[in-house]
């Protein structure tokens, strides 16, 4: 993931994050976080694709992301928490099928944070947050 981030940085893609909607940041954040989770999971070569998918769902479903962002709150900067709240407060045209609206909104806030850090090229902080996300899920599994 770090190598991908370095190559992405070299592409000089500029995004004005302050002018980007929280839902657009969440859209990017969803993709970045899912790729990160998939990379983490394939480090265990003994899992079938079906098992990889089932494990990935534990990390990327709305309830898990809501739990992550609430657990992360004390560790986030004021600026990061503002991004979470902006993402959380956005009205989405989609309605969650398998989660409640509160979890869905906090998940959107989490994804907005990931998208924000990615687009701001704060790659070190992005990796810290995503690694903590995995730790939080693993702690909850115990």
Report the catalytic residues: 30
Q: Which of 21, 111, 22 is nearest to 64 (CA)?
A: 111
The dihedral through the CA atoms of 22, 78, 122, 65 has a sign that is: negative
Residue with tokens 């909850």: 140
Q: How far apart are CA 92 and CA 90, in angstroms?
A: 6
Burial code of 105-132, b = ≥16 C-beta within 10 A, e = fewer?
A: bbbbbbbbbbbbbbbbbebebbeebbee
| Token reading at 123 | 């790659």
CB atoms closer than 10 angstroms to residue 72:
18
Q: Are 26 and 108 a contacting pair, CB within 8 Å?
A: yes
């Amino acid at each position: 993931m770090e190598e991908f981030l370095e190559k992405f940085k070299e592409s000089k893609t500029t995004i004005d994050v302050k002018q980007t909607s929280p839902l657009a940041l969440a859209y990017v954040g969803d993709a970045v976080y899912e790729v990160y989770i998939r990379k983490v999971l394939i480090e265990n070569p003994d899992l079938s694709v079906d098992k990889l998918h089932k494990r990935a769902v534990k990390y990327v479903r709305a309830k898990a992301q809501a739990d992550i962002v609430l657990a992360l709150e004390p560790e986030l900067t004021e600026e990061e928490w503002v991004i979470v709240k902006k993402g959380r407060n956005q009205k989405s045209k989609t309605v969650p099928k398998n989660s409640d609206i509160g979890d869905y909104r906090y998940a959107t806030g989490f994804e907005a944070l990931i998208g924000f850090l990615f687009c701001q090229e704060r790659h070190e902080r992005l990796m810290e947050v995503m690694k903590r996300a995995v730790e939080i899920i693993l702690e909850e599994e115990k």
